[in-house]
């Protein structure tokens, strides 16, 4: 039976803003808790009408095609995360003194008396992979867990589950964090920060501030990326529980209070302890102080003892080869996941087992096939310049397939960094000219094929052109640096089109050999 531990919901008139994957479960839960619920939704299409019919059968009022008007008597708004803060609905709520929660905030408030701790992850790129790696590690440690949040599983379902979880691996977007002022994770990580969704947040400063909310109230560890000073700055600004530590991750040799890479090994100098006597440890090389002052939480050993031990020792967690795929940015994801797991007390052996068991989602630097000595890689999920930069940095030389909807992005910095790796580029999509102009400025010697097409069949032509330009040993990399909606339903459909075109290429070569 669903219960409200706060007693805040029953009898209250709650307006749910938006249907879909967050609005539907929110409306159902609120109604089950005794609230008077009205759902407002911008769209009035067939899908929305079907959802409205389902909710109306539960006694929920639904207003389709009217997402801007605040229903009379509303005392709380629960919004879908993607609804922009500047919508008239929220201005009306503010004027009336009505609080606005996101579905994540609602889930946080509905946790029971002994709730599962949250290990939370945000960042411009890598969130889903890191959260799924973390869940795999926690499962390997024998813990009942789930990857939830922005990853597609409803947090409400998780916190209200009949069988309680030991711990939750929670992916949080900047949108969700904006509407979740009360959440206080056990530990959290910001993987990276780069300009994204600025049309929604209004500025890079506002975007970063919303990301930084994930550190508020952390109990054990604030995990940050030593290669991205902006993540470190968010740790400095956070108001955390006394004793919470700042834990860095790096692709280089780690200092004390960091996790990093040494001689092909993922190692831990943040949580290594004399109590891990059954696990392999190593003398630490190149000791250096952590950038952010760190304070060890209490335990069987004194803080001073542990600090001295970490100056000298590093705990082996896994091999680089245990990470699939072992691209640099994916190694960083694994280190962040390991840091959060170690903050929760997971032993090194479970970290290794969890990383070995993990398999990435489709369309994330996914190896499709090798054809005539050329590797074909699908990174359709690289929908912004930051993600594409990480992907391009993993291969050399590259025939780059790029383009789509730029969402206001510029490409000069990306192209300048990748120029030496590029064999050629094939451009598709509505905003391909922006990438072409950047290539002309920063990589004028790189051959460019500009496919003046935005139909879905353009991907087949792009792969054929890339195959023509590639040489044995090259990688044809589809890392568009753009959104997909100008040509495809989503990045999944774009990735499937790329894979199908590569399979066509393979079939064509097989047929030619048979002749």
Contact at 8 Å (CB) between 421 and 392?
A: yes
Intra-chain end-to-end CA distance of the chain, in Å:
67
Tell whether residue 126 is among the known ligand binding residues: yes
- Largest CA-CA distance found in the chain, in angstroms, rounded: 76
Tell whether residue 128 is among the known ligand binding residues: yes
Neighbours of 211 (CB within 10 A): 26
DSSP 375: E
In 232-312, the DSSP E strands lie at 245-249, 258-262, 265-268, 281-283
Tell whether residue 123 is among the known ligand binding residues: yes
Sign of the torsion formed by the C-alpha atoms of 199, 204, 209 and 215 = positive
Neighbours of 324 (CB within 10 A): 17
C-alpha–C-alpha distance, residues 261 and 372, integer Å: 34
Tell whether residue 127 is among the known ligand binding residues: yes
From residue 139, alpha-carbon distances to 163, 315, 369 in Å are 16, 21, 31
The position carrying tokens 């996914």 is: 366
Contact at 8 Å (CB) between 82 and 102?
A: no
Contact at 8 Å (CB) between 149 and 170?
A: yes
Question: What DSSP string describes 129-174?
Answer: HHHHHHHHHHHHTT----EEETTSS-HHHHHT-SS--S-EEEE--H
C-alpha–C-alpha distance, residues 454 and 121, integer Å: 35
Tell whether residue 281 is among the known ligand binding residues: no
Instruction: Supply φ then ψ for residue 197, to 5 degrees.
Output: 55, 30
C-alpha–C-alpha distance, residues 130 and 158, integer Å: 19
C-alpha–C-alpha distance, residues 44 and 165, integer Å: 37
Tell whether residue 69 is among the known ligand binding residues: no
Of 323, 482, 466, the C-alpha closest to 387 is: 482
The position carrying tokens 């994957």 is: 21
Residues at the binding site for ATP are 123-129
Q: Which residues are annotated as a binding site?
A: 123-129
């Amino acid at each position: 039976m669903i219960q409200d531990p706060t007693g805040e919901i029953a009898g209250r008139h709650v307006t749910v803003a938006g249907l879909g994957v967050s609005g539907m479960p929110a409306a159902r839960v609120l109604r089950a808790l005794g609230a008077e619920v009205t759902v407002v939704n911008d769209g009035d299409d067939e899908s929305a009408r079907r959802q409205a019919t389902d909710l109306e059968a539960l006694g929920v009022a639904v207003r389709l095609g009217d997402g801007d008007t605040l229903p009379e008597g509303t005392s709380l708004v629960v919004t879908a995360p993607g609804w922009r803060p500047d919508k008239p609905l929220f201005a009306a709520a503010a004027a009336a003194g009505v609080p606005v929660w996101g579905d994540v905030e609602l889930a946080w408030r509905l946790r029971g008396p002994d709730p599962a701790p949250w290990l939370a992850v945000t960042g411009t790129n890598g969130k889903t992979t890191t959260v799924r790696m973390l869940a795999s590690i926690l499962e390997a440690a024998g813990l009942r867990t789930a990857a939830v949040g922005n990853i597609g599983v409803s947090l409400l379902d998780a916190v209200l589950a009949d069988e309680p979880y030991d711990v939750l691996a929670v992916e949080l977007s900047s949108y969700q964090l904006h509407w979740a002022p009360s959440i206080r994770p056990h530990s959290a990580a910001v993987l990276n920060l780069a300009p994204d969704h600025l049309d929604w947040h209004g500025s890079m400063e506002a975007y970063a501030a919303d990301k930084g909310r994930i550190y508020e109230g952390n109990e054990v560890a604030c995990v940050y990326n030593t290669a991205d000073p902006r993540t470190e700055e968010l740790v400095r600004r956070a108001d955390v529980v006394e004793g919470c530590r700042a834990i860095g991750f790096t692709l280089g040799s780690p200092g004390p209070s960091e996790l990093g890479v040494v001689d092909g090994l993922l190692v831990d100098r943040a949580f290594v302890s004399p109590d891990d006597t059954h696990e392999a440890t190593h003398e630490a090389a190149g000791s250096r102080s952590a950038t952010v002052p760190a304070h060890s939480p209490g335990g069987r050993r004194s803080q001073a003892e542990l600090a001295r031990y970490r100056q000298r020792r590093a705990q082996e967690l896994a091999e680089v080869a245990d990470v699939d795929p072992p691209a640099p940015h994916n190694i960083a994801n694994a280190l962040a996941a390991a840091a959060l797991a170690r903050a929760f007390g997971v032993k090194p052996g479970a970290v290794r087992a969890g990383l070995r068991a993990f398999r990435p989602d489709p369309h994330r630097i996914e190896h499709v096939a090798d054809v005539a000595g050329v590797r074909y890689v699908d990174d359709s999920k690289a929908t912004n310049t930051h993600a594409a930069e990480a992907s391009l940095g993993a291969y050399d030389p590259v025939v780059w397939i790029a383009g789509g909807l730029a969402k206001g992005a510029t490409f000069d910095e990306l192209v300048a960094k990748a120029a030496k790796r590029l064999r050629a580029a094939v451009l598709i999509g509505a905003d391909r000219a922006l990438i072409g102009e950047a290539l002309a400025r920063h990589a004028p010697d790189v051959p460019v094929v500009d496919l003046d097409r935005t139909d879905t069949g353009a991907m087949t032509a792009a792969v054929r052109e890339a195959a023509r330009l590639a040489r044995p040993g090259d990688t044809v990399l589809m890392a568009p640096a753009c959104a997909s909606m100008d040509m495809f339903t989503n990045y999944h459909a774009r990735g499937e089109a790329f894979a199908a075109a590569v399979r066509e290429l393979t079939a064509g070569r097989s047929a030619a050999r048979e002749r």
